[in-house]
Structure 1
Amino acid sequence: MFTAMFGSVEQGIIYAIMALGVYLTFRVLDFPDLTVDGSFVTGAATAAMMIVLGYNPILATLAALVAGFIAGCMTGLLHTKGKINPLLSGILMMIALYSINLRIMGLSDENAVVKPNIPLMSSDSIFSQFQSLWGNIGIDQALTSFLKNTLGFQTAPSTWGTILIVLILTLIIKSIVDWFLKTEVGLAIRATGDNKRMIRSFSANTDGLIVLGLGVSNALVALSGALIAQYSKFADANMGIGMIVIGLASVIIGEAIFGTKTIFRTTLAVVAGAIIYRIIYAVALQIDWLDTSDMKLITAIIVILALVIPQLVEKRREKIRKEKRRIQRLEQQRELTQGGNHLA
C-alpha cells in the first residue's frame, strides 16, 4: 500500500507541471483550451522519438517543451488571427495534433510513416540518470533506512531518484511561473484574462499576449507528457485522453483546500491538488468493486465532488454568518430597548 502511494505521489508531482499549464489558461488567461489532450501526447511523442534515436534524454525533454510551445501558439493564432471561437480553436488543434503525434512517433522507425506508440523499456531516461546519481552518493540507502528503522515502515522504495528529480523540477517550474506572472508581461497576461477591453485601451497587444500565454501553458503540458513517457517507459497516441479533466481537477481541488489569496499560494495549491488527486485515485482503485477500467468514472466523480463540496461548504458558512448577524441585530435591539426603558 505504501509503495502504491509512493508511486501516486511521484505521478502527482509530474502531473502538477501539466496542472500549472492548465491553471495558466483556465484561471489566468480565462481561455478554455482543449489543446492539452493533444499537446500532452506531443511532448511524450517528441521526447520518446528523440530518445529512441539516441539523443540525450535532457535534450529530448527540452525539445518536447518547444514542441508544446509551438502547438499552444498555433491554437492562439487560430483564435486571434483566424477569429475562431476559443473552445473550437482548442478542439481543432487537439484533433490535428492526433495525426501530427502519429507522424512524430513514426520518425523513430525508418520503416514507419505513422506509429501509435513507442516503447522505452530498454532506453535511458532522465530518471535513470538521476537514480544512478542518487544511488552513488548514498541517498537511496539513507532515506530507505530512515523510513524502515526510524519511522517503522515495513516496506519502503529502494530508489528515490525519480521523486527527488521531479520534486526539484516541479518546484523550479513553480518558482518560474510565480516570477513570470509578476513580470510586466505576466501582469499584462493576467489583465488580459480579467478584462481584455481594458488592457487593450492601454495599447497592449492582447492577441500577442494570448498567443504567448497559450504557448507557455502548452509548453508545460508537453513537458509533463515527456516526463510521464519516460516515467511509464512508453509513449502512446491515446495517453492524452482526459488530461484536461485531470488538470482541472487538480486546480479545483487545490484551490478549494488551500485558497487563492496570492500567486505563490495558488500555484502551490495547484501542485498540491495534483498530488492529492493522484492519491485519491490510487485509494479509489484499492476498493474491491472498482477496476482500472473505471478510471474515467473515478476522475469524473472526483471533479464533481471538487466542484460541489466547496459550494456546499460556502453555503453553510454563509448561513452561519447570516445567523450570527441576525443574533447581533437582535442583541442590539434588545440593548436599545432596555436603554430606553431605563431613561423612561
Structure 2
Amino acid sequence: MSSAPPRVDTRPRTAVLLQQNGMGDLVWHAEYLRLIAGTSSDGQVTLIAAPSVMARELIGHEPWLREVVDFDRRPRRSERRRGRHSGLAGLLRFAAQLASERFERLVLFSDHPARALFVAWRAGIRTRLGYGATWLQRWMLTPSPWIRLYEGPAVASYKDASAFAIAQGWCDAPVVPRLSVRPDALARMQARLAPLPRPLHALAIGASEPFKQWGEAQFVELATLFAARGHGVLLLAGPAEAALARSILARIPAPLRAHVATMTDGTVADSVAALSLVQSCIGNDTGAVQIAAAVGTPTFVVLGPRPPLEHDPQTMRLVQAASLHDIRASDVAAQALRELGLA
C-alpha cells in the first residue's frame, strides 16, 4: 500500500511590521503576533521592527517566531545617529533585503504605514494587510475589513491592534498581553535574587523620557519603606540608569541596604525573568512595567496625568494624579501593600 503524499502547507509566508519603537509596544502586540503565526507558513512569522524594541531578547525564543528583521529607519533622538534605512536610498535597500525573503503577506500594525507600504510594493509582497483608516491606506492595502482608529482617552496603540486583530478574524476579543520567560534567564535570576528577602519588590527606575521619571528621591523613600518592613527591593533598570541606581542605594539608610540590590547590567531576557520572580513591580511608565504585567506580576505604574493604560486591568494598577510629582512614595507603598495583602 502506498503512503499518502505529504500535506502541502498553503499558508502564506508572513512578515509582521511593528511601527512603534518601544519594548512596551512589542509586549502589547506579542500575543497578536502569535495568533498571526498560526495562520502563516510553518506556523511562524518574521517580525520587522526597530532595534530599540529588543525583539530578540523579548520573544526570540518563541517557537512561532522565524526571525527578526531590523527596520532601522528612525532611531531615538538619544541615539544621535542616522538610521540605516532612513531616506529614499535606505528604504530601497530595505526593500531589496525583504525581496530576497520572498514574503507572500505583510501584516502592518501601523496607523501611518505609507513608507512601509512603499517598501512592501518594491519587495513584491502581494498581500498587504493593515488598518485601512484612510483612503490612501485602502488604496495601497489589500482589500480586507478596515477599522476606525481609537479616539478615546486611553493609550491608542493596543486598542488599534486589538480592533485590527478582531476585524481580521485572528481573535474574537482583545487578548491580554503575555510573555513567556526564557529558561536560561530564569535560572540565572533565581540564583542572583536568592539572597534577597521576600516579599521582593522590583522598582523600575528607568524612563525613556524625562517627563516619565518619578524621581530619585521618591524611589529612595519607597525602597526605604519596604526595606524597613524587612522586604527585599530590586532596583531594576538598564545600563543608562546605573548611576541613578547607585545613588538611590547610597541614600538608603546603611542598616537597610542589605535588603536592597541593583540590577542594571542584565540583558532584557534577564529583566523578564527577574520580573517574573518578584512579588510586585512599581515604577515609571516604561518597558519594564509592561513586561512585569505581561509575566503576571502585580504591577503599579506611577503614571501621573498621562493617558491611562487599559490593556491589563487585572494585573496593572495605575497611580495617577494631576502631576507626577504630586504622587507620594508613602501613598504608593500603602496602596501596593494593601492590594498585595501585606498591609
Scaled to the shorter chain, the TM-score interval is under 0.3
Question: Higher helix fraction: Structure 1 or Structure 2?
Answer: 1
Question: Higher strand fraction: Structure 1 or Structure 2?
Answer: 2
Higher relative contact order (CA 8 A, sep 6+): 1
TM-score (norm 1): 0.27
TM-score (norm 2): 0.27
